Each structure stands twice: as structure tokens, then as C-alpha cells.
Amino acid sequence: MIAKTIRTCFPIAAAAVSDKAEEINKLNVFPVPDGDTGTNMSLTLASVTKELSALPADADMEAIAGAITHGSLMGARGNSGVITSQILRGVAEGLVSADEPITSANIAFAFRRAVKVAFQAVRKPIEGTILTVLRDVSTKADECEKKKFSAEDALDAIVVEAYQSVARTPDLLPVLKENGVVDSGAFGFAIFLENFVAAALGRSTVVEDFSATFDSAGSARDAALGRVEIEANDDWEGSEFRYCNEFLFKADAPFDEDECLKFLGSMGDCELLVGAYPDYKIHVHSNTPNLVLEHMLQLGQIYEVFIHNMEMEAHDRTAKIHEDQEKAAEPAKALGFVAVAAGSGEADILKSLGVDVIVSGGQTMNPSTADLLGAVDQVNATSVIILPNNGNIRMAAEAAASACTDKKVAVVPTKTVPQAFSALFAVLPDSELEDAVAAMVDAISEVRDGEVTRAVRDSSASDGSPIHSGDVMGIIAGSIDVVGSDVKQVTLDCINRMQEEEEGDALTILAGEELSDEAFQEIVDAIEEAQPDLEIDAHRGEQPLYPVIFSIE
């Protein structure tokens, strides 16, 4: 039961941290203001999620713990990611011998184990960081054990304590108070813990549903968020060391880990060496990454080396904060747009036509309702129109529109990006929402679209003729009407057929990421020769899976 719960709830909690990664990044001022804590924690958790998903369905808790330990070690990124990996390892190890069903005593034991493992990994623990919050959570779990709380009440209590501890971090670490923020890693840990527990207990959140038995329970998260007044730090004062060095290390033979840590400490700060012979993760901030790597090469093999310039990352963080502050100061416009795009070229064109926020997605990678709702929240407008640009995304877009309460949101049911182009051309920025939607819907009704892709399995065309895996398919208005072996010929056949059915004046055509510029130009030239009266607007769309998409009006 515990193993199944972890496999179910871990990806949910990891996704919650990923969703909040940028917000966590902006809080990151310690140990250096390089703005990557959220990203690093998210990548670390994603590595565990991947490892868990590879386990057999009947994997026991020992196998789960092994996957968490290995996945977090291999995927740990940055100081925050490495420490997070040790917290996860400790909790997982502590749960291997837990009772079924789990008790508050098991929970307390698991967090005591996490404290031991995580604090052993850090040579110089600093108060007011993720480690402080972990210790406070463990202490609260111990209290719950002594009071013989149920497992459910204990889990609720430690989530509340996590957020209350996060809210206290500026009082313990001066650099946080100076910058008006809570600790970023601690905040990310609380988000993960809250969402894991909420999923385990079958709730949307823990804090909002939590019993009033505990003081200030309902405002625990608010208390933490109330300390999140992000300021732009224009000064590089976080560290005398510029480079964040992290890599995986496989030792040739057992070595003196304490001596190795002393060496890393002599090279810089934030030194971490975690793992067990022969596999380790090494992290250190240094001005001489070459010397760090040369030393470790004497002891074994290094791989997956990441060297980050933290000063440059800090400047990027500052620029993003300034940009957000400038946007927040701007008055809300009447009408904004969110659009889904699969390729960078598509996204660039949509932005040039007035789309405020692009959501990455398309065929086989549909964004969720939460993704679209988050994008709507980013638009500084009183009314927002969502352009799903794919029939499979329409329902998620409509659900996002229905869920939004602070803005008027509507969906224009575009099925392709070229339809979105036509829709955007048809609307004026100061239009009322209803008028804009009517104009855009009218515009896309005049657009006939086509796509060219390759079959991934045997099938049949609209006329019943066979399609074999690898064949090139021409899709007109959702129907597979042309099958061949050459992208250029299939594209040309589709356009010729569409022109025969109803002659259009303008063709918009986008090249996919797999199509070279030369091949794309050959296709355009062939169309110009076959359809000399058709005005062609050709662009790089860079969409995956579809070498060509196009529309005729």
C-alpha cells in the first residue's frame, strides 16, 4: 500500500513543483542569487519520477526506495537538487520497514532518517534553509507520534509546519530578510510535501482543508506567501565563486570521502559529495572548475558534467524580475490572447500577431487545463481568448475558460495554427470579447487546412486504400485523402485537389523541424509552378511530426 501510494503521489507532487519552478527561481537569493532553485529541484524530482515509472507494477517498498535513491542521485541538479535528493533518500529508507497501514510513528521515523542523511551531506548547514524546514517538520512529526495522532492528522500537521517554518526563514537568514523573500529551496520542499500529502489523502490541498485543531492551520501557506515580496537584486554579492560545478562520479576504488570533501572545500564553497561507493554526485561552487575535475579524474571517472556561470544566471534572474515588475505596472488591456504552438517558428509568428502567451503543445503533447489556466493568468488583460490550434486541446481550453473567475475567457476553436493566423488578422485589439470571438470564428470558417505527416502504423485512407507504416499521408480537413512516399509530391497533390474543389487565393505553408530549407523551397517552387495564381506565404514553423502544414483561403 505504501509503495503504491508513493508511486501514485510522487509524480503529482513533482509536477506541482515543476508548475511553480519559475516562482521558486525568483526567490533564489541564497547561497547565490542565480535563480535556478526551482528548475534544479524540478529536474531532480523528474528524474525520480522517471525511475519509479520504470519499476514493475508489483515493486515493493525496498525497490521504491532504491529507485528514489538512485533516481534522485543521478538527476540531482544544483545545491538544492542534491540536498533534496538526500531528503528523499532518507525518507524512502525510513519507510522501507513501515507498517501497513502507515502510522504516525512510521512517519516520524522516516523524517528522523531524512534529517540524519541530509545533514550528514552538508558540511556547514545554514539556518533558514531547506534543512531548517526539514528539521522542523521532523520535530513536528515526533510530537505527533508522542500524542498518538493518526497518520492522516500527522501528515496534515507536518505540511502546516512546513509552511510555517518557511515563513520563519527570513528571521533566521539575514540575506532573505534583506531581499524580502523566504528561502527558495524551503518553499519548493513545502510545495512538494503539501501536494504529495494532498494526493495521498485524496484532497485538492491540505492546508485549505486542514482541521482547525491546529493553530493558524488555514493560513499556513498564506503566512509563507506573505513573506514573498520579490525584489530585483542587481548586485552580484552572493558568492566570491562564479562557477557552479556538478557532475556524477564513479570511483575506481574506495577513497577517503572526508579528504575529498576537504579538497572540494579548498576549491570553493557549497561542497557536497553524496552517494555511496562507487557512485557519487559532486557539487561545489568554485572559480577553478578545471582543477576540481582534474583532481577527481585521479580517483575515478566523471560524467554528465554541468558548469554554470552563476553571475550570468543572477543577471538573468534580475532581468526577469524587472520585466515582471514592468508588466505588473502596466494597466490591463481590454483583450489578450493565449495560443498553443508546437514549434518555435509557429510561436514566433503567433507572438508577432499579438498573442501574449504561448503554451507549448500539439499533437501527442496536449497541454493540460492547468497549463492553459496558468497561461491565462499571465495575460494582463480583462478578457482573454484561447486558441487551442488542435481539436484534441479544445476541451482542455474550454475547461480552463470555465475555471477562470477573475477574467472573461472564451475559446475560438482553431484546429490548426494557420487557422489561428487568420483569426488573429480578423480581430481588432480593442474589440469587445463577444465581437472578437464572432469575427475570429467567422474568419476560420473561410480557412481550409491540410497537413502532411508519416504513418506510424498500418491503416487505411478515406477511400479505403491501404496505408503502410512509413507512408507519407496528406490530411485535408481531418481526412486522409492522399498517400504517397514523397513529402513534396503529397503536399502538391493535396493543394491541387483542394484548388480543384474550391479555388482559393492565398496559401499559408509552414515547414516542420525535419524539413530542410532546401527541401522546403523545392516544395514552394513546385506549388508556384502548379498554381501560379495562388499567393504563397511560406514560413518555418518548426513543428514536430508534420513536415508540412498549410491552409488555403
* Residue 113 belongs to some domain of the structure: yes
CATH number of the domain where residue 401 is located: 3.40.50.510
| Domain membership flag for residue 321 | no
Amino acid identity of residue 442, one-letter, is D
Question: 442 and 460 in contact (C-beta within 8 Å)?
Answer: no
CA dihedral 148, 150, 156, 157 (to 10 degrees): 0
Rounded to 5 degrees, φ, ψ at 412 are -100, 115
**What are phi and psi for residue 461, nearest 5 degrees?**
-80, 180
Assess whether 182 and 303 both reside in one domain.
Answer: no
Q: How far apart are CA 196 and CA 200, in angstroms?
A: 6
Distance in angstroms (rounded) separating the CA atoms of residues 62 and 407:
48
Q: Are residues 111 and 211 in the same domain?
A: yes
Q: Last residue of some domain: 410, 444, 478?
A: 444
Q: What span, in angstroms and rounded, lies between the C-alpha atoms of 371 and 503?
A: 39
Closest CA to 182 of 216, 221, 224: 224
Same domain, 280 and 402: no
Q: Which three cell numbers stand for residue 152?
A: 492522516
Q: How far apart are alpha carbons 53 and 45 in whole angstroms?
A: 12
Q: Are residues 62 and 120 in the same domain?
A: yes
128 CB burial (10 A radius; 0-12, 13-18, 19+): buried
The confidence score (pLDDT) of residue 222 equals 54
**CATH value at residue 22:** 1.25.40.340
Domain boundary (428, 444, 460) is at: 444
Are 506 and 419 members of one domain?
A: no
End-of-domain residue from the set 423, 444, 465: 444
Q: Which residues of the chain have pLDDT under 70?
A: 32-35, 204-239, 317, 321, 324-325, 327-329, 363-364
Beta bridge partners of 307: 245
Closest CA to 98 of 70, 74, 64: 64
Q: Is 174 a member of any domain?
A: yes
192-239 pLDDT, tens digit per residue, is 999 899 889 887 554 443 333 333 333 555 554 444 443 444 444 555
Task: Identify whether 324 is part of a domain.
Answer: no
d(CA 496, CA 502) in angstroms, rounded, equals: 10
Predicted confidence at residue 210, as pLDDT, reads: 37
- Domain for residue 318, yes or no? no
pLDDT score for 335: 94
319, part of any domain: no
pLDDT for the residue 336: 94
Same domain, residue pair 283 and 340: no
CATH number at residue 520: 3.30.1180.20
Q: CB of 387 within 8 A of CB of 351?
A: no
Q: What angle do CA 215, 219, 225 make, to 5 degrees?
A: 135
Q: What CATH number did the domain enclosing 267 receive?
A: 3.30.70
- Which string of DSSP letters, residue by residue, matches 195-241? HHHHHHTT-S-STTT--TTSTTGGGHHHHHHTT-------S--S-S-
59 and 93 belong to one structural domain:
yes
Start-end of H helices in 37-77: 37-53, 61-75
Say if residue 440 is in the same domain as residue 467.
no
Domain count, the chain: 4
Residues 405 and 353 in one domain: yes
Contact 183, 30 (CB under 8 A): yes
543 and 440 in one domain? no
pTM score, whole prediction: 0.56
Q: Which amino acid is at 312?
A: M
Residue 325, domain member (yes or no): no
The candidate with the shortest Cα–Cα distance to 200, out of 462, 9, 472, is 9
Examine the domain organization and report whether 41 and 168 are in the same domain.
Answer: yes
Q: What is the pLDDT of residue 78?
A: 80
Instruction: For residue 11, say if its preceding peptide bond is cis, omega within 30 degrees of 0.
Output: no
pLDDT of 217 reads 36
For 398-422, b/e burial (b = at least 16 CB within 10 A) is bbbbeebeebebbbbbbbbbbbbbb
Give domain status of residue 271, yes or no: yes
Question: Do both 273 and 393 map to the same domain?
Answer: no
Q: Residue 431: enclosing H or E segment and its boundaries?
A: none
Domain residues for 336? Answer: 331-444
